[in-house]
Amino acid sequence: MGRIAAVLVVSLTTWGALAQIWPGAFQVGSNKTLKELIWGPKSIWLAGLALGCVVGLYIWNLEDRLSHLPGATSSITSEDETGIKIVSWGPLPNSSGCTAMIDASKLPVAFRDKYEIAMVCGFVDPSVDRQKDTRISVSALFTPQDALQISLPFSKTMADALAAEQRAAIEKLIPRPTSGTLVGVMNMVWFEVILLPKGSDRSNIQKLSDVLTAGGKIAEARASVGVGRNVPAP
């Protein structure tokens, strides 16, 4: 609504200034034709036009506003040599893991023969380098197919770290919630698709940088989503 208000303020201010400079044309009381247009039988059409402009401006702003809501999703779909895309993604129903639909239809034959596909998820923490973050979850390895649905529970390391982050966030609330009170908290969880050489031991992947060390690849396609939970205050 901010842009709409700005447009209306500018329009009214401009009209008021012109009314002082050219009263015969812009002052409603001085201009019989204008007065009849605004207050006469055609008023309903003028009101409809104005309402249409306001609604149009509202819709114009809607997508931009929704993209900044907490819990909104985002993704990077630019293709690299793997051609992999994340089509849909989100948390498991009980918010204890992550799931995604992966489009690997453009994965080159040479890669299909050499690699298997897995998904990695973690939570956004600006204070930690994602490539070095060990608070991650790694799925099982999947044979390349055109379409893959991959789901995995959060690892104990990731789940414990998330719980600690949530407790810390609640403890910073003012006033402090009574112990045991359910408090809604949210974390941004990210998704990445990796390729590992066939026969690899996924337990060796403790952080994203281990993928390259193991001779694998990290696809450019990635996504994130806000995961909310009701957590008892400590």
Residue among 105, 146, 130, 106 at smallest CA distance from 208: 130
Quick one: 170 and 204 in the same domain? Answer: yes
The number of domains in the chain is 2
Quick one: 29 and 56 in the same domain? Answer: yes
Whole-model pTM above 0.85? no
The band of 44, judged by pLDDT with boundaries at 50, 70 and 90, is very low
Which sign, positive or negative, has the C-alpha torsion 203, 204, 207, 212? negative
CA 80/CA 82 separation, integer angstroms: 5
pLDDT tens for each residue of 205-234? 999 999 999 999 999 999 999 998 888 888
pLDDT tens for each residue of 98-145? 999 999 999 999 999 999 999 999 999 999 999 999 999 999 999 999
Measure CA of the first residue to CA of the last residue in the chain; give whole Å: 38
Measure Cα distances from 90 to 74, 78, 104, 232 in Å: 11, 19, 18, 23
Quick one: 41 and 105 in the same domain? Answer: no
Give, for 83, the enclosing helix (H) or strand (E): none
Quick one: 43 and 145 in the same domain? Answer: no
Residue-number span of the structural domain to which 40 is assigned: 2-66
Query: Among 43, 66, 89, which residue terminates a domain?
Result: 66
CA 144/CA 122 separation, integer angstroms: 23
Quick one: 36 and 88 in the same domain? Answer: no
